Structure 1
């Protein structure tokens, strides 16, 4: 293409070779680093976030590859023009897939002679026979998609009449039926008298680039929908949990009438991320005759399903306790309930029934940490009765244990995960080490505060519940 004058100013001089070589080195180094990032990107097609990350990496590689080839062309200059027309058909070597040479072409239309000049790359972009004459400006819209034809006509008209630069995209339909997206940039070339003598343009096949951008956009939208769904589910699960757990924070004295027998405090401790809402629960219920029911438990899973399952268990537990069913039999019926639910799940629980007249604690457990008893500055684990996880074995039988409490005794019930980074015996040991502080506290709320200070502020992977009961009379 011959040098030209743009509508506004002479063409800028090309940069020095050394500057371009430096830019090429920087681009290739960045491309290598980007390729390493792309190899490490997730390839799981089922994860929207992984697909989005992968698509962004592919898009960045497309753009860096194009930039590298652009700079190489700028350094090497335009390809040589044959001195004489070829008398025999040239052997066409297919360009490397993804090469810039298969995506960028140039053209010039002389308005004075009505002649057109196309580069070989433009023929490949448009899928035209290299031996065929280039299309004129009047013929070019025939290749354009019907919906984009008027846009191309408008851009060309503005360029020829008002000397406006062309910068736009349109779709073309190749003779083989393939539809490609082409980005066209061009300017009018002015005659010495100020009239438009010709129009030049650079056309770039951006189909792969736009496809990568659409992939990024689609996966980003999918990821946002997933996040919106997760936020909605967390909100619903949190609201349902608030409705399920007893509506009290801090102290609650049982029974509501008559002598005070137990001083209670409980708390739910969320996970560090607050994104996983599990099926942990605590409960305290006054029963007919002045007895009290204390329970904590955990249902497997997270989200609305786990919390709704907890609501079902708590409702059943409260109803059977009000009917006078003892802790061991109560857990047997809860096990039966989980066994016949539509969505099977596993759960653990400890259920205690306290009779204030005799200070007798009757309790049973289903695969759950046993209650901790603190007395006279020391702590111990109550001997556990037999009991498997709820929902694990149809027809399971749960034993019961009894313990006589004394005034001033402190009972601590908790779910797994109360002590971050510790489980089983190690977690119990950490809690038993708090015996001097707990036994010296005046109220159950003070005891709960000591437990939370020790365990509640640290990073935890899952949520947990703790219930403290102090015998006051």
Structure 2
């Protein structure tokens, strides 16, 4: 197509071939580097962030491919309109269909002469619109017949504004190809004025942007999906935090029950969140004054994270409190908690230790379900209590749990904890049964604190010592610690 005198400036001359070749080389090098990045992008379809990253890589590849094609066309000029071959006496093989994106991403050009009502199209435009190269190009009045019904008014308005008010054309519309396919075309054009200032013709370039727009939609959809998932995770985390805070005792210091006599227990506890997960787990601690002056002490852990697990923990703790208030002894209490977990709709596993302290005799009666045994610190040393039999809650139906007794002395410090307190690299992840009797590195780490814990004036000072030792470490799971100091 010869250069036109547009409404306000002459058309730019094409750049020198050498400079375009250099741009093509740079574009192809960049496309190769981008392709390497795309191959390394995550392909996990279940991860919204991975899908979004993959979609961005695909979009960048589409844009670089189009840039390569457009620069090549700028160098080579528009393709001539193919001449329809004459019928041959012998049948010929059908040529293969063009590779998807190889031709449809090219740019076609057209000119409509308003004085002669003639039109001329480049070969690429025939390919983009799916028209027979032997057919005459459509006039401006006929062009809307290819456009989707919903987009036809927009095209008509753009052409009218261009011809009457000399406004440039810049817009997208969908076309219906003869093969039934629908493509999105981006059209840019300007009027060409005659010497007397009237509009003599209109030229335009049309580009098939279907694949580019599809990639952009995928990017937007995956980004929105990732944002929704992030918002959902934040909401679930907030719900889990609020539920946990509503269940666990809001201690801010040592706790003394008002009805206890001189053999009072000085109590303190602390919750340590996981450093590797934003989700709240099912760990709990609790102390409850029971009818008759006894005290319930318990810590436990329900496997998993999130709102469902925190809700299950609240249900389990509520049941434990109710049965303890009714006078149920620790061994029987564990059996009923096991039946409760076994009967839940969603199977779950849990571990727990439950103690009843009788202040008149300083007797501690306790049971455990697959949980680390309490640690007793006295006279500068510490030891784990000998654990009665007990399997994980929810592990098997009809499990029977043993019960043990321990007589405490004035000044004793009892430490109950969940197994996430000591990082996994320092000991086994879930010591239970005989494994919780001091044979693990995790328990030994806690027993090493004996001189400091025995020297603590209050239970709160003891908790502070434990938190100073383990609170800043990177833990895979959340944890709880509860300390009870026997008073005089």
Normalization by structure 1: what TM-score? 0.94
**In structure 2, what is the Cα distance between the partners aligned to 1:319 and 1:191?**
95
**In structure 1, what is the Cα distance between the partners aligned to 2:215 and 2:419?**
46
1:318 aligns with 2:345: no
Residue in 2 that maps onto 1:458: 473
C-alpha distance after superposition, 1:208-240 (max 9, x if no partner)? 111111112122222222222222221211111
Unaligned 5+ segments in structure 2 are 89-93, 429-439
Contact 2:128/2:208 (8 A) holds in 1: yes
1:176 paired residue among 169, 176, 179: 179
1:430 paired residue among 445, 452, 456: 445
1:384 aligns with 2:400: no
**In structure 1, what is the Cα distance between the partners aligned to 2:288 and 2:26?**
71
**In structure 2, what is the Cα distance between the partners aligned to 1:297 and 1:394?**
19
Q: Secondary structure at the match of 1:419?
A: coil
Residue in 2 that maps onto 1:300: 303
**In structure 1, what is the Cα distance between the partners aligned to 2:261 and 2:212?**
78
Q: Secondary structure at the match of 1:429?
A: helix
Give the Å deviation of 1:191: 2.0
C-alpha distance after superposition, 1:428-452 (max 9, x if no partner)? 2222222222122211111111111
Give the Å deviation of 1:115: 0.8
Contact 1:373/1:379 (8 A) holds in 2: yes
**In structure 1, what is the Cα distance between the partners aligned to 2:171 and 2:473?**
56
**In structure 1, what is the Cα distance between the partners aligned to 2:445 and 2:23?**
60
Deviant stretches of 4+, over 6 Å: 84-87, 89-93
Give the Å deviation of 1:251: 1.6
1:159 aligns with 2:162: yes
Unaligned 5+ segments in structure 1 are none
1:439 paired residue among 436, 454, 461: 454
Q: What is the correspondence of 1:364-443 to structure 2 with a 5 Å cutoff?
A: 364-422=367-425, 423-424=427-428, 425-443=440-458
**In structure 1, what is the Cα distance between the partners aligned to 2:267 and 2:441?**
26
C-alpha distance after superposition, 1:367-390 (max 9, x if no partner)? 111111222222222221111000
Residue in 2 that maps onto 1:214: 217
Q: What is the correspondence of 1:32-111 to structure 2 with a 5 Å cutoff?
A: 32-74=32-74, 76-79=75-78, 88=86, 94-100=97-103, 102-111=105-114
Q: Secondary structure at the match of 2:365?
A: strand
Contact 1:254/1:260 (8 A) holds in 2: no
Contact 2:170/2:187 (8 A) holds in 1: yes
Range that drifts further, 461-470 or 13-22? 13-22
C-alpha distance after superposition, 1:280-308 (max 9, x if no partner)? 10000111222111100011122121111
Residue in 2 that maps onto 1:133: 136
Give the Å deviation of 1:110: 1.1
Give the Å deviation of 1:36: 2.2
Residue in 1 that maps onto 2:344: 341
**Aligned alpha-carbon RMSD (Å):** 2.2
Contact 2:262/2:487 (8 A) holds in 1: no
The size of the alignment, in residue pairs, is 471
1:191 paired residue among 194, 203, 213: 194
Query: In the superposition, relative to structure 1, how do residues 141 and 345 fare at CA in structure 2: closer, same or farther (>3 Å)?
Result: same
Residue in 1 that maps onto 2:353: 350
Q: What is the correspondence of 1:17-32 to structure 2 with a 5 Å cutoff?
A: 17-32=17-32
Residue in 2 that maps onto 1:223: 226
Q: Secondary structure at the match of 1:363?
A: strand
Contact 2:84/2:134 (8 A) holds in 1: no
